[in-house]
A and B are shown apart, each in its own frame.
Chain A
Amino acid sequence: MICIQDVSMTFPIPKKYIDYLFFRRSRYFQALTNVNLTIEDGDRVAFLGVNGAGKTTLLKLIGGLLYPSLGMIEVNRYDTVKDNINSRNSVGFVLNEERSFYWRLSGFENLEFFGILDNLHGDLLRDKIRELIRLVGLDGAENKQVATYSSGMKQRLALARGLLRDPKILILDEPTRTLDPKAVIEIKSLISSKIHSSTKRTLLIATHRFDEAEELCNKVCIMNKGQVLVCDTVESIKSKHSTIESFYHNVMNENNSSLCISR
């Protein structure tokens, strides 16, 4: 279970030379404001929102890669700041960054290195890597250097890396962002059929794609300007609105008009 309580996050804005000259204080950019959210075990939550809405920041906070400026996040009862390593123990992170691999190493060698970092080793690790290579459909390519992989193959490898220690919570940050339509279908099917349905792990996905949210998730959270505007089940959304897309646009329009009025 993930508990997010009154979480706010600010990033410092780099100072200009003139700011140092006049001893001006640092300024901050508000990335998240008072986010409260509880995610139950086995939930599959899609975070939808425009660029800069705070989706990735929230996921990185849950994954313990960032610390909140205010508030507290508990992952399986471990505080992500005070008990960072234990809170990360049950979390797998699938980064959307293609460069997050060593391009001169093969897919197998990359997984071997990251597996060792996750305290796996020996035959146990090698067997796990072979199993994951098969699961994500990279058989035959595991000994090629990552430099020769396509974007889709790198994303498959990222999924395999995220699953190395068989985490209860899998965080996917825009898993299909750089992929072509065919690869998008393949990755979606991989996540829904092989990764989630067989294990009932918690999935948290930041995405811009409504189809991805509908096919992979049972809950949708819409974010805007660092706030979680609404969270609801896909079932409930579809009963009240025809599609997730129309629900999303309604929420965003309401939010934008209320912001205009308050100004």
Chain B
Amino acid sequence: MYFKIVGFIKRDYLIESRYKLNFILSFVSSILPVLSFFFVAKLVEGTGTDSLDKYGGDYFSFALIGISFTRFFQLAVDTFSGNIKRAQMAGCLEAILSSQTDSKTVVLLSSIYSFVAAGVQLLLMFAVGVLFLGFDFSNTNVLALVFSLLLSFIAFISLGIFSAAGTVIFKQGEPVGWLFGAISALLGGAMFPISVMPEWLQFLSKIFPITYALDVIRLAILKGYSMPMMWEQLSILGMMSCVLFPLSLRTFHWAVEQGKRDGTLMSY
């Protein structure tokens, strides 16, 4: 397995790095939203809102965590289906699936480089925030943060694998990625606390893992909350992960088998 992980990372790094301008721009473009929200924070500074008090009251810190992690989780959802789509369109999927590696392993390993690259972009966004814009990590409860990230990661990988299964079946316009992309920024509270929304929208937001993920990450970083203090959100996130992950793998396997039966696996 180790050689396969290295092989996939090497393949994707070599391909990405040979599109030089795109490679550089992908890192530069991750910094721009940080600057935008820094200035938005300047604009709303001092207007005071109770909704932010739960997270320490600073809008820039709130928004930086919201946009950076939503971006990272969005990638977790998009990367699997994106890789399937690219392999279908490039004509490599048939060659890959005729190899001695099963389809589930292929789809999981195809996404490792994207996560590494997105992780580097996430760190870059926080590095700019800490070094130049006054973001503060001093309150962070590291253990609670790591655990929250792990649970969130599993939940979003599961959505990503559902999305990949959707791509195998529907080709274009698969619904999971669309649903997450369209709704996460609005309902998940990436840019504003969900408590400012009407109650029925707040209720709706509780269906989506992004709501709990951003909440626990913010509380662990900005307020230093421990795991027992966030047990309710972590339990819900944990239950979502435990149900969604095995279900997503089974769904993807079913989609590939169905594609082989229908003969539509390689079409796009």
Contact = CB atoms under 8 A, between A and B. Distances in A.
B168 to A, nearest CB: 14
B100 A117 contact: yes
Most buried by A among B97, B257, B266: B97
Interface stretch (B87-95, B120-128, B242-250): B87-95
Contact of B14 (A85, A109, A119): A109
Nearest to B19: A104
Contacts of B265: 65-66
A47 interface: no
Contacts of B96: 114, 117
A72 interface: no
A248 interface: no
A20 B10 CA distance: 45
B42 interface: no
A114 B106 CA distance: 12
A118 B11 contact: no
A164 to B, nearest CB: 9
A172 to B, nearest CB: 13
Contact of B94 (A85, A97, A105): A97
Given A99-B92, A100-B94, A105-B11, A117 B261 contact: no
Interface in B36-90: 90
Interface string B225-268: 00000000000000000000000000000000100111111100
A201 interface: no
Interface string B1-36: 001100110110011001100000000000000000
A112 B7 contact: yes
Given A85-B102, A95-B94, A102-B15, A12 B264 contact: yes
Given A104-B15, A112-B7, A161-B95, A67 B102 contact: no
Most buried by A among B10, B92, B95, B96: B95
Nearest to A121: B3
Contacts of A109: 10-11, 14
Given A11-B262, A12-B264, A104-B14, A116 B95 contact: no
Main SS of chain B's interface residues? helix
A57 interface: yes
A235 B71 CA distance: 65
Given A11-B263, A12-B264, A104-B14, A117 B99 contact: yes
Contacts of A11: 262-264
Interface residues of A, number: 38
Contact of B100 (A12, A99, A121, A165): A165
Contacts of B266: 65
B261 A113 contact: no
A104 B14 CA distance: 8
B138 interface: no
A116 B90 contact: no
A181 interface: no
A104 B8 CA distance: 14
A88 interface: yes
A122 B2 CA distance: 12
Most buried by A among B10, B97, B98, B263: B98
Nearest to A91: B98
Contact of B11 (A95, A98, A102, A119): A102
Given A65-B97, A97-B91, 12 more contacts: A11-B262, A66-B265, A67-B261, A88-B100, A98-B91, A99-B91, A102-B11, A113-B8, A117-B96, A118-B99, A145-B18, A161-B95
24 contacts: A65-B94, A65-B266, A66-B261, A66-B263, A85-B100, A93-B98, A97-B95, A98-B91, A99-B90, A100-B94, A100-B95, A101-B95, A102-B90, A104-B15, A104-B19, A113-B8, A113-B11, A114-B99, A116-B3, A116-B4, A117-B100, A118-B100, A119-B100, A165-B100
Interface of B: 3-4, 7-8, 10-11, 14-15, 18-19, 90-92, 94-102, 106, 257, 260-266
What are the nearest 9 A-B pairs in CB distance? Answer: A99-B91, A116-B7, A117-B99, A121-B3, A100-B95, A93-B98, A11-B263, A117-B101, A67-B260
